Structure 1
């Protein structure tokens, strides 16, 4: 009798190397939501884009610009360890919620500040919306709906420092209308059949109730009405290898915020402006701080139309600064 051939167990593929960092997928701005069942929608969060790297002996929290900010988000790092995953990379946004459950960048900035503030770091929540790596497997090549299917059981139902960014498959125009009605920043549309692509592309689309971007503060004008306060912040965007002036913002400050920010800026005054600009009352500063600004549109000469100040951050992670080259 012929000997039965022994079945060779299938080869186990070697694990995929875990990336030290993944450049995030960035949503492209569109005026209207896309139509069709291929698109899923989420709330557009107003915070810091982060990647949470869970590794065998540590957790790292990496910003969009590639900086390790684990020490700034201790509650998120602690919660990530409780997920009991060997290795993973979760993509998401860190936010602080207001009393109506809306993300508020100004509240987040104050929670991250080094000074005593009304909001603490423990209030910061990480809303996970994508899974890029899991237990030795790089998932970026999978379609979005498959990555979502793997993400949901990991974070769904959690109500601590890590939560699931809810996804809905609905009519985009109606979802956008409701989002704006409730005072949200806007919505994100994601193509359910596409892989994860680093950089800005139309697989992910942002539709905002008002435009919102980051600009470098290059100076200020003192208030003529209130001693010690700001009149306007002078703003710049990237263009080529340099910076170009895009206008000023003089609304959106509380009196307290205005005086505190002026004191901060007076500590970094310079006689060498970062942009070419002549204004009678301008005080130029080192380009070390970034302003979050909401605005309606751009003028024909590339200046912000109807801007309103929303918050300030350090330039250490300036990957989000608006570029006129895009």
Structure 2
């Protein structure tokens, strides 16, 4: 079954990213290729695009079927964007002119019950971006103690009822009936959460937290930002689309940190101990028209920064 995906902030991201049509670019989150496909239309014959994705289904979307990308300027890598620097070094690429990261989960992942990302459909509680590697959400809940589950749900979901939720998960497991499906988890959370913001399902924050933990999303984001900055040539652009406050906070903090000099306070007239490396350029939100056409875009934020001279 095919699942459709609408790329968020498509033109805004590519407009901000591509300055040199003959340059080399990275799409760190290929998904179903919306950004990559538009980016390729902006490139000159000498341009190159390297895409990354952990999801085998995304790799298949790029390489097989009628929608496969056969453009010789395009290369896709089955790897996390956190590994982009090493992956590109193996291909002889040391500098790029732009790095794009479109964070979060794609619609095909959310809408496929077999992937276990959504409480809207009953399916196995998996949540892995790459289901061939690592521990599923169900496996984590089957082994973690109450303190560990509380910490994940509280820190990654910003859920104030994290302790009640984790206690219920462990109690159910102790009774010999561990949580194994999305419907089971959603029902358990609904019984544990005393109140919720209007219009938000009680399970929203818990599902977000488990997905972030299972995929080490925040750790990989920090690694990917550092790798992208190290790869960027002077005047190269970094463009990152975030969908929740934890991601956006990391991106905002990273850009702010790299756009400030560090001075040794013991020697205030000495040269800075670290030079400016980034210049913040823009913070862009979806238009009302885009939000109306694609409600999933409403929380998106695109931040753009430019690499300064090394």
Q: TM-score when scaled to structure 2?
A: 0.29
Higher helix share: 2
* Bigger-Rg structure (1/2): 1
Higher strand share: 1
